[in-house]
Amino acid sequence: MTSKTLTIALAAKKLRTKEVSSLELTRDCLRRVATSKLNAFTTVDEAGALRSAKEADKLIGSGKAEPLTGIPLAIKDVISTKGLRTTASSKILDNYIPPFDATVIAKLKAQKAVILGKTNLDEFAMGSSTENSAYGATLNPIDPERVPGGSSGGSAAAVAGDLCLGSLGSDTGGSIRQPASLCGLYGFKPTYGRVSRYGLLAMASSLDQIGPLSKTATDMKVLFDAIAGYDRLDATSIAKPLPKAKDIKKLKIGVPKEYFESQGLSKDVRKSVEAGIEKLQKIGCQIKPVSLPTSPYALAVYYLIMPVEVASNLARFDGIKYGASTIDSSKTLADVYFKTRSKYFGAEAKRRIILGTYVSSAGYYDAYYGQAEKARLVIARDFERVFREVDVIVGPTSPTTAFKFGEKADDPLAMYLSDIYTVPINLAGVPSVSVPAEPVGELPVGMQITGPKDADLTILNLAVAYEDACQKGKS
Amino acid sequence: MAKTNISPKDVARIADLARLELDAQSLECYADQLRQILKYVASVHEVTDQTGGDDNATTPHHELKNISREDGVADDNVGTEELLRNTPSQTGDMISVPIILGEKV
C-alpha cells in the first residue's frame, strides 16, 4: 500500500475500513519527501506529522473520522502554522515561528488532518515559476527541466510528485490555478471572502485567497469544504452561507472570444482547451460565445493595484518586531529599516515595492493607482454583465504549458504575461477552478472555469462532472 | 498621463521612501524594468475612459460595509512571552530599538 496511487477520497475510505493506518500513509509520504529531488518543501515536520497521524488513528478507531482525518497534506509556506517555521520563502522570515495558527490550519487540525510540512513558493507569493524563492526553485515533477508554475509551485509539485495527498496554496493573481495547470492538477480560487485570510502572510489583501490543489475534483471539494466558512478574525469574511449549486446539466457556458484572440496563446493549448469545452458540451451544458472586452487590460490594472498593496503590506518587515534583522549592527532606527530590508528581501520583492511606491506616490497616484482602481470596477462590471447571460465562463488557465527554467527569469514583463487569464478573476473577486485538459505531449494543460461571486459550489460540481466525463472517455 | 521615462535618480528617490538601499547597478536595472512595466500598464487609461467619469468607482468589493464586532475580551489572544519569542532585540518583556531622537529619517 503506497500513497502514490491514492486520492484523498480513496485514502479516507481505506482508513475507515482499516486497510491502512494514517501512520503508515504518513510514513510513506515522509519517506518519499526525504528522497525527493523536487525541492517542494521548505520545512518538513516529521515529528509533528507522526504525532498527528497517531492521534488521527485513535480518532478513526473510535469511529469519529471526518473527511480529512489522517490524510497527509502539505501547506504553502505563506500560511501561519503555530510552532512550525513559516518563511514565505524569504530570507527576511528565515527563522520566523508563528505563535498562532491561520484559521485554515486550525480547521484542518480540528479534523485531525496530518500536516507534513511547508511548501516552497516565490518569495511572498510573487512570481509564476517558484524561481523567486530564497530557498531555490522547485522542479516540475512531469519534466524536471521545467518550472512547476507559481507562486504555489511547491504545493503543486508536492501533490503531482506524490509527496502528499493534497495541499493548500494561495492565489492573488493565479498562484493556485497556474501551477495546477502546469502540473496537471485541480486547483481552486474561491470567491473572495469565502475562505478566511487570517494567518495568511499578506501579499495584496484585496486579491489574496487561500484554496486547495488536488489530484481529483472530488478531493478539491473535500478540501474546500474543510477550510471555507465565516471567520470573525477576517474582516472581509462573508457570513452569509454559500448558495446551493445549480443543476450542472442545465448550465449555460460562455466562451469569451478575447481569451482565444490573445497573441500569446499557444496553438496546442488552444486546441486542448477547445477539446475540453466539447466535453462540457457532452455533459449537457449549452455553449455560447460571449465577450469580455476589458479582459485584455486586466493585467495592466493588476500590475498597478497589486504592487501598491504589496508595498504597503511588506512595510511591516522592518527588523524590529520579528524576522531577520540587522539591529545588532545598526546604529539608528532608520539604519535598521534600510539595512534589514535591503539585505533580506529578494529582487522581485524589491521590484514590486518600488513599483508600488512609485505609482502611489504624490503626483503619480491619480494617474496610476487611482485610474487602476476605477478600471478594476469596470472589469468587475464586465464580468457581472456576462454572468447575466451565462452561468459560467471557460477558457485557458495559462497561455502556455510549463516553460523551462531561466526562460523568463530576466524579463519581469514576460513572466507577468503568463498570468494573463488568471488575474482578471482576482480583480473581480469571483471563484475559479483550473481543471486538467488534454496534455500536449507529456506537458499538462489547464482549463479555467469561472463563475459569478458565490457560485463556488456550482463550479466545483461542474469540475467533478467534467472529471467523470474525462474518465468515461478513457475507459 | 504621468511620465514613463523613469530615471535611476527617480528610482533612488522612491527606494528611499520605501526604506530600501540600492547600488548603482540595481538602480539602472530597476529603472529600465520599471520603464517597460509602466509603458505596459499605461493602457489602463483605455479602460477608465469607459467609466463615464464615475469618480466614486473603487474596488469591486465596494458593496462591503464597515462591520463591528462585540467589544469583548477574546480568549484566544497570544501572550506577551510567545509574541516576543520572534523579536530580534528585547529588554525584559519589551522590544528594544536603537536611538530614535536626533536622527534623520
- Distance, CA of A180 to CA of A127 (rounded, Å): 14
pLDDT of residue B56: 56
- Distance, CA of A45 to CA of A118 (rounded, Å): 8
- Dump the DSSP string for A193-209: TSB--TTBPPSSTTT--
pLDDT of residue B103: 56
Across-strand partners of B94? Answer: B91
- Distance, CA of A433 to CA of A422 (rounded, Å): 10
What is the tens place of the pLDDT at every residue in A340-394?
Answer: 999 999 999 999 999 999 999 988 898 899 999 989 989 999 999 999 999 999 9
Has residue B63 got a pLDDT over 90? no
Q: Is B3 helix (H, G, I), strand (E, B) or coil?
A: coil
Residue A63: all three cell numbers together: 469511529
What is the tens place of the pLDDT at every residue in A203-214?
Answer: 999 999 999 999
Which is it for strands A166-170 and B90-91: parallel, antiparallel or unpaired?
Answer: unpaired
Residue A88: all three cell numbers together: 514565505
Has residue B61 got a pLDDT over 60? no
Q: Which residue in A241, A151, A162, A138 sits closest to A189, CA to CA?
A: A151
pLDDT of residue B58: 55
The share of chain A scoring above pLDDT 90, in percent, equals 91
Residue A316: all three cell numbers together: 511591516
**Which H helix or E strand runs over A44?**
strand A41-44
- Distance, CA of A300 to CA of A463 (rounded, Å): 30
pLDDT of residue A84: 98
Residue A270: all three cell numbers together: 488552444
In B64-83, the residues whose Cβ lies within 8 Å of chain A are 64, 67, 69, 78, 82-83
Mean pLDDT over all residues of chain A? Answer: 95
Residue A330: cis peptide before it, omega within 30 degrees of 0? no
Residue B102 pLDDT class (50, 70, 90 cuts): low
- Dump the DSSP string for B43-94: THHHHHGGG-S-TT---TTTT-----------S-PPPHHHHHTT-SSEETTE
What is the tens place of the pLDDT at every residue in A411-447?
Answer: 888 888 889 999 999 999 999 999 999 999 999 999 9
In B5-64, the residues whose Cβ lies within 8 Å of chain A are 6, 10-11, 14-15, 17-22, 26, 30, 33-34, 36-38, 40-48, 50-51, 54-55, 57-62, 64
* Beta carbons of B97 and A364 less than 8 Å apart: no
Q: How far apart are the first and last CA of chain A?
A: 24
Average confidence (pLDDT) over A163-188: 98
What is the tens place of the pLDDT at every residue in A295-339?
Answer: 889 999 999 999 999 999 999 999 999 999 999 998 899 999 999
pLDDT of residue A359: 94
| Radius of gyration from C-alpha coordinates of chain A | 21
Residue A114: all three cell numbers together: 496530518
* Beta carbons of A355 and B57 less than 8 Å apart: no
* Beta carbons of A331 and B97 less than 8 Å apart: no
Residue A1 pLDDT class (50, 70, 90 cuts): very low
Residue B95: all three cell numbers together: 522590544
Least confident of A461-465, B10-14, B22-26, B100-104: B100-104
Average confidence (pLDDT) over A171-185: 98
- Distance, CA of A392 to CA of A254 (rounded, Å): 6
- Distance, CA of A219 to CA of A464 (rounded, Å): 9
- Distance, CA of A418 to CA of A128 (rounded, Å): 7
Across-strand partners of B82? Answer: none
What is the tens place of the pLDDT at every residue in A97-108?
Answer: 999 999 999 999
Residue A410 pLDDT class (50, 70, 90 cuts): confident
Of A192, A303, A320, the CB nearest to B37: A303
Has residue A2 got a pLDDT over 70? no
A175 as an active site residue: the answer is yes
